[in-house]
Amino acid sequence: GDSVTQMEGPVTLSEEAFLTINCTYTATGYPSLFWYVQYPGEGLQLLLKATKADDKGSNKGFEATYRKETTSFHLEKGSVQVSDSAVYFCARGRGGGNKLTFGTGTQLKVEL
Amino acid sequence: NAGVTQTPKFQVLKTGQSMTLQCAQDMNHNSMYWYRQDPGMGLRLIYYSASEGTTDKGEVPNGYNVSRLNKREFSLRLESAAPSQTSVYFCASNGGTASTDTQYFGPGTRLTVL
In whole angstroms, give the CA distance from residue B33 to residue B17. 23
| Torsion angle, alpha carbons of A104, A110, B4, B5, to 10 | 100
- pLDDT band for position A91 (50/70/90)? very high
In whole angstroms, give the CA distance from residue B95 to residue A29. 23
- Residue with more model confidence, A21 or B53: A21
- In angstroms, what separates the C-alpha of B3 from chain A's closest C-alpha? 12
Each residue's pLDDT tens digit, B18-30:
999 999 999 999 9
Each residue's pLDDT tens digit, A26-73:
877 788 999 999 998 889 999 999 998 999 999 999 999 999 999 999
Each residue's pLDDT tens digit, A17-26:
999 999 999 8
What's the pLDDT at B75?
A: 97
Q: How many CA atoms lie within 13 A of A26 on its CB side?
A: 11
What's the pLDDT at B65?
A: 97
Q: Which of A5, A12, A8, A2 is nearest to A80 (CA)?
A: A12
Q: By the 8 A CB rule, do A26 and A3 touch? A: yes
- pLDDT band for position B69 (50/70/90)? confident
Sheet holding A75-77, edge to edge: A19-21, A75-77, A62-65, A56-59
Q: Which residues of B are less than 8 Å from A31 in CB distance?
A: 99
- Residue with more model confidence, B91 or B42: B91
Q: How far apart are the first and last CA of chain A?
A: 41
Mean pLDDT of B28-57: 92
Q: Do B45 and A99 touch (CB under 8 A)?
A: yes
Instruction: Spell out the SS3 assignment of chain B.
Output: CCCEEEECCEEEECCCCCEEEEEEECCCCCEEEEEEEECCCEEEEEEEECCCCCCEECCCCCCEEEEECCCCEEEEEECCCCHHHCEEEEEEEECCCCCCCCCEECCCEEEEEC
Q: Is A1 on the interface with B (CB under 8 A)?
A: no
Q: In the predicted model, is pLDDT for residue B102 greater than 90?
A: no
Q: In the predicted model, is pLDDT for residue A95 greater than 70?
A: no
Residue in B45, B58, B107 nearest the CB of A43: B107
Amino acid at B42: G
